[in-house]
Structure 1
């Protein structure tokens, strides 16, 4: 247990210095907006605060200035310090992702017990001075030591990435989608909700009586929706694949049937949906604590993928990320360690995938590995490990070593980190939308939106406005 000691008045001398380093995030700005009441859109990541068409995510000046108080209260003078006054001069702006260093230096001890300190905040990447000023504090007079104080953590719980996704898909014509066996309320309800939002135009394939019962339970009308009769789930899957091959649908959506039954029809050798790559699954996760969507793959199809399969897993995920508006996706290939260890096959696969991307065998994104989970998604963890990489700490795609790991990551994000996940299968002629019985409306809509955006980009139906986003 680390003991933190303060520096009472008698220990202080002019020239004493202290500093702290902090990486600022978009969520910091939302917390500040809630705590201060300052809702200026210049500081909120998904808003354009000055009308230039781009969101700014400029760090609130007083938030930057407040970093100085952390040095004063935690280190110098430390516990027991109280502010008397603080002046600020703001010279430059910080943005989300910047690493900032706040410093204080004692310049004067006054007879009344006050201490005067020069205060600054700078950006570490270029040394730019952002804030300077002078603090006057009442220093503690008693020597104190504390165990590390743990305060409750905060999570900004919002699914802004899915909200942005819905805005983007709004400009795309509805994607005609064959819904396979939507024979109970959840699966039918998800398809009808996506229809109501203009994301898909459903063709319902299954047992008419069961579909009608599900619609009645939902209180929904099926008027105007095409319904193709199938006697069982195998026939429903086969007919849905036929509808796609006939050019009548641009996507498939899983209803109330086993995934294996659907994929068996899609993978059939005559008149299936094979398109040259392995079928792979991607979860698009909206994690409240992350400033970007996080893609997790493969969590549902390939159990123990070999290297060639992992190449397809990575390439499919990159292609999908590009469809979602990520220009050059950053791919972190996961292992238990961040160094190559021949006794850990996932680490050697990760290194090979990284090198294959360098040689152009995987294209469209930046691929790095092996990376452990912490240094793939957390910049501070990557820097602590001394990893220099454009991907480490910034990964937008996580490639799991096997299905077990991928599924666990996705479910941990959902149930512990309060993420929402959209699931799609790629590598087929058209996207295949996979939803779970446990999925809520937001996840079902997002799955449809992800598939619609990807299909629209691949088919050239994506309007210029949506593609630019």
Structure 2
């Protein structure tokens, strides 16, 4: 950022003016809430702060006032200026999306260094006055200019993609879901949260005493929630699969049991959930700062997938991406390099998968590879390497070489980039919600939403259709 050359007391004349133009964003208000400690929901997106049934996202008054300080500190008088006083009178309200013009006009000079300015903020679209006031400042004593002033970047950890998925899933009919062994607070709480948002109707399968103890620990009533008794974890998994076979459940959700126990029951030969493809796991990641959800697969089930398995991994991920609203998913098949190297098997698999998609063996999306991680997700890196494709730099799905790479990538996104991850197993007759024991409520709720949206696409019950009904 460049700060304009400042102006000392002697260089300033009565009548001098300066202004900046700034668009209000929801993220600005979250940054202000974090910095100031003012968490008034009137200013935060997705909240009804005054109980009128509408979400407000009103610009905090002092955030609007701070735009005046930006004009004073950056332009007039500029670098080196210090405040002595500022009055503010608010005439109207600004909201997220408004384009605001902050202006200052010098009205008086008070030797040896005092400057008095009239200050205003108006909305550009209609000229409405948001605030008026007066600033009294100490002008800088020395001439200065700063080039390329470095300000640390801020990233707002707001999971807007998951918010959108949940909002799309809530109008759907609740998805009957067999929840296997929700015998501790986190897994039970996630299932009940999905029920409170009307995304799922949980059927709790496991030890009733442990389930009720977990409910008591989190203070959650189980009134109206069906509990199906099962003696142990393996039995509970088979009972849950039976509920699907009987048509009473349309999804499975992992509770407090080993994934192997759940999948062993789902893969049984008689009345199991096989549907012709390999079971594959997909993480739907909401990464702060990314413009779209990022799908990572397979990071949980297939250890060292061969080419045939990777075909199913690609197809399952494309199907899920379409279910959550990505019309033509762009799939980047990852390797250590972006060129085919016979000594790197993952680069050969990636090239073959790309060609298979061109020939219609993988459908519904665009597949390209091999791509290294940087040129899969960053358009600048792709251009630097001279890669020209619809996927490079724009990948929405990342297919990893093996479970090691996938697990590391997903956890790096979660613990370094502060992403939330929804987990779903694909390739079965019904979606299987698969969360880690350490996942929080948002991850579990988003997983329910992803499963519900996928089921809705498979059954032809879109959110738009449901709302119209």
TM-score by length of 1: 0.69
Match of 2:66 in 1: none
Listed as ranges, the gaps of 5+ residues in structure 1 are: 1-26, 38-44, 47-72, 74-79, 81-140
Cα–Cα, structure 1 residues 360 and 263, in superposed 2: closer, same or farther, change >3 Å? same
Does the 8 A contact of 1:295 with 1:397 survive in 2? yes
Cα–Cα, structure 1 residues 156 and 343, in superposed 2: closer, same or farther, change >3 Å? same
> 3-state DSSP class of the match of 2:220?
coil
Confirm whether residue 405 of structure 1 aligns to residue 409 of structure 2. no
Listed as ranges, the gaps of 5+ residues in structure 2 are: 1-22, 34-44, 47-73, 80-142
Deviations 1:343-398 (A, max 9, x none): 01101100100000000000000111001000101111111111111111110000
Cα–Cα, structure 1 residues 232 and 34, in superposed 2: closer, same or farther, change >3 Å? closer
User: RMSD value over aligned CA atoms?
Assistant: 3.6
Whole-Å Cα distance in 1 between the matches of residues 204 and 157 of structure 2?
A: 35
> 3-state DSSP class of the match of 1:195?
helix
> 3-state DSSP class of the match of 1:265?
helix
Shift of 1:151: 4.2
Confirm whether residue 394 of structure 1 aligns to residue 394 of structure 2. yes
4+ residue segments displaced more than 4 Å: 27-37, 141-144, 148-151, 465-468
> 3-state DSSP class of the match of 2:249?
coil
> 3-state DSSP class of the match of 1:456?
helix
Shift of 1:34: 7.9
Shift of 1:153: 2.7
> 3-state DSSP class of the match of 2:204?
strand
Instruction: Point out the more displaced range, 230-239 or 434-443.
Output: 434-443
> 3-state DSSP class of the match of 1:455?
helix
Deviations 1:98-130 (A, max 9, x none): xxxxxxxxxxxxxxxxxxxxxxxxxxxxxxxxx
Cα–Cα, structure 1 residues 234 and 173, in superposed 2: closer, same or farther, change >3 Å? same
Shift of 1:219: 1.5
Does the 8 A contact of 2:171 with 2:467 survive in 1? no
Confirm whether residue 433 of structure 1 aligns to residue 397 of structure 2. no
Deviations 1:396-443 (A, max 9, x none): 000000011111111100111011000000000000001112111111
Name the count of aligned residue pairs: 355
Cα–Cα, structure 1 residues 449 and 142, in superposed 2: closer, same or farther, change >3 Å? closer
Cα–Cα, structure 1 residues 462 and 214, in superposed 2: closer, same or farther, change >3 Å? same
> 3-state DSSP class of the match of 2:442?
helix
Shift of 1:170: 1.5
Confirm whether residue 229 of structure 1 aligns to residue 237 of structure 2. no
Cα–Cα, structure 1 residues 225 and 376, in superposed 2: closer, same or farther, change >3 Å? same
Match of 1:176 in 2: 176
Shift of 1:142: 12
Whole-Å Cα distance in 2 between the matches of residues 456 and 254 of structure 1?
A: 20
Shift of 1:154: 2.3
Shift of 1:143: 13
TM-score by length of 2: 0.69
Whole-Å Cα distance in 2 between the matches of residues 271 and 448 of structure 1?
A: 24
Cα–Cα, structure 1 residues 404 and 28, in superposed 2: closer, same or farther, change >3 Å? farther
Match of 2:464 in 1: 464
